[in-house]
Amino acid sequence: MSVLGTESRPLRVAIVGAGPSGFYVADSLFRAKIPVVVDAFDRLPTPYGLLRGGVAPDHQQMKTVGKYYEKVALTPGFSFFGNVKVGQDLTVEELKLHYDAVVFTCGAETDRRLGIEGEDLPGSETATAFVGWYNGHPDHQAHSFDLNAERIVIIGQGNVAIDVARILAKTPAELKVSDITEHALHALAKSRVKEIVLVGRRGPVQSAFTELEIKELGELEDCDIFVNPADIELNAASQQELDEPSNNKARKNVAVLREFAPRPLHGKSKKIVVKYFASPVAILGNGKVESIVVEKNRLEGEAGNQKAVGTGETETLSCQMVLRSVGYKGVSIPGVPFEERKGVFPNQGGRITENGAVVPGLYCSGWIKRGPSGVLGSNKPDGAATVEALLADMAHLTPCVNPHTESVLSLLSSRHVAVVSFDDWKKLDAEELRRGVELGKPREKFTHIVDMLAFLGKPVSSEVAYVSK
């Protein structure tokens, strides 16, 4: 029998999802210094997942980590196969025939629901869709947002919610230096938004955002920030949480909020309100969003474990759009066990499990492994841990029956899938940078798969032309 991970029979690993986690997994595999073939598949023609389609366009410094992923992509033994949706263009069974191990790094591509009345009214949108729209993600380009709204309520106070508020609040000049799509830039330039309310269930000490993100909201050119001074008076348990030596995050956040609270409004065109102790109860409107009802909360419980408890007192905030930013959620892939409630692939340290038993040869990492938490860098140790498990299992893995990537490519070609290579991506990348220079911005993205394939001179199937993968 072939010994995997040797010169005569390199270990063959398929990675499903060429986002940050996919690249960290590949990097860890190469660092093991064994002969290994790593083929990374992504449903989009472009790599880098949320680094491209999630991370805010005005946070260009963050995007430089793409250079690190590119270095991994150029390592001998690595191939990128874009525009291939696993579960649709290729089944998991087919991957198992061609690879000794499959690592799923397909992220968390949908969103959690609030489960309240009116959630699906026109004008009640997800942050996932809004972020994808302004970042040029092909899934969200057909979506239109009613930016005639004068007041927008954002549910949630994580960094995604803050990103969304900041993008809505910035002036066209502030946004122009980002790689926000021209389409979104023009729509936002015409927006009539005057007030953006960020609603959180608990208090300032429990805020999910981080210091740098909240601080930026106080530095906007034409937008005031408002924090109710009463909201930053802490109860005893919150004070105890704040005094906890390891709770630097809360101390930094509260320091920023305490600086914001006494600030007078400067009569800027827009205002961001950070509203605490409120839970959404219902979204109301006649055919479209007209208001949101929130219930006032108080905190109950011991320090470190305080829960928001409704007081029964409600408030109706008139608004014309609600953006729900209450967390991303993983999507299932046929042939892989799925934990519906958490939206993750059930696993033990990266080994995928079914009813508690390890499924040989299937692994996961990143947001599909642990849920939508942590920054880009959090996926690095996570990927290393999954690869450690995989390598520990290597001697017991069943070698795949058809260890040839060409055979996978033939299969895709027989299905008329226009596969995009890393070289192809570099052509798209160069063109996006060129278009960016013309417009005086870092990059102008391709936003439709059909345009990417046409630019690369690849056949566009009628399905791709109309349906986003």
Ligand X SMILES: Cc1cc2nc3c(=O)[nH]c(=O)nc-3n(C[C@H](O)[C@H](O)[C@H](O)COP(=O)(O)OP(=O)(O)OC[C@H]3O[C@@H](n4cnc5c(N)ncnc54)[C@H](O)[C@@H]3O)c2cc1C
| Site for ligand X, residues 162 to 181, rule: CB under 6 A | 163
Please report whether residue 20 would count as binding ligand X according to CB under 6 A: yes
**Coil, strand, or helix at residue 147?**
coil
Please identify which residue in 11, 37, 147, 160 interacts with ligand X, judged by CB under 6 A. Answer: 160
**Range in contact with ligand X (rule: CB under 6 A) among 36-44, 141-149, 192-200, 336-344:** 36-44
Cα–Cα distance for residue pair 196/373, rounded to 1 Å: 24
Please report whether residue 35 would count as binding ligand X according to CB under 6 A: no
In this structure, what are the phi and psi dihedrals at residue 314, rounded to the nearest 5 degrees?
-115, 160
Please report whether residue 379 would count as binding ligand X according to CB under 6 A: yes
What strands lie across the sheet with 291-300, from one edge to the other? 278-284, 291-300, 307-318
CB-nearest residue to ligand X: 19
Type of residue at 10: P
In this structure, what are the phi and psi dihedrals at residue 26, rounded to the nearest 5 degrees?
-60, -45
Residue 136 makes CB contacts below 8 A (sequence gap 6+) with 53, 181, 184, 445, 446, 447
**CB 46, min distance to ligand X, A:** 8
In the complex with ligand X, the residue whose CB is nearer, 121 or 385, is 385
Cα–Cα distance for residue pair 281/114, rounded to 1 Å: 9
Cα–Cα distance for residue pair 169/120, rounded to 1 Å: 25
**CB 262, min distance to ligand X, A:** 29
In this structure, what are the phi and psi dihedrals at residue 294, rounded to the nearest 5 degrees?
-120, 145
- In angstroms, the Cα distances linking 53 to 41, 129, 310, 438 are 17, 10, 36, 22
Please report whether residue 387 would count as binding ligand X according to CB under 6 A: no
**Coil, strand, or helix at residue 431?**
helix
Contact flags string 96-115 toward ligand X, x per CB under 6 A: ---------xxx-x------
What the block records as the tokens of 36 is: 């290994």
Beta strands in 95-202 (DSSP E): 101-104, 110-111, 124-126, 151-155, 195-199
Please identify which residue in 30, 35, 77, 87 interacts with ligand X, judged by CB under 6 A. Answer: 87
Q: Report the length, in residues, of the chain.
A: 469
**CB 198, min distance to ligand X, A:** 15
Ramachandran region of residue 301, left (φ > 0), alpha (ψ -120 to 50) or beta?
left
Please identify which residue in 172, 229, 334, 374 interacts with ligand X, judged by CB under 6 A. Answer: 374
Please identify which residue in 50, 193, 308, 323 interacts with ligand X, judged by CB under 6 A. Answer: 50
Please report whether residue 254 would count as binding ligand X according to CB under 6 A: no
In the complex with ligand X, the residue whose CB is nearer, 299 or 417, is 417
Cβ 367 vs Cβ 107: under 8 Å: yes
Please report whether residue 390 would count as binding ligand X according to CB under 6 A: no
**Range in contact with ligand X (rule: CB under 6 A) among 49-57, 236-244, 307-315, 455-463:** 49-57
In the complex with ligand X, the residue whose CB is nearer, 148 or 248, is 248
| Site for ligand X, residues 116 to 135, rule: CB under 6 A | 131
**Range in contact with ligand X (rule: CB under 6 A) among 47-55, 292-300, 305-313, 414-422:** 47-55
Please report whether residue 54 would count as binding ligand X according to CB under 6 A: yes
Interface residues with ligand X (CB under 6 A) are: 16-22, 41-44, 49-51, 54-55, 59, 62, 85-87, 105-107, 109, 131, 160, 163, 328, 333, 366-367, 374-376, 379
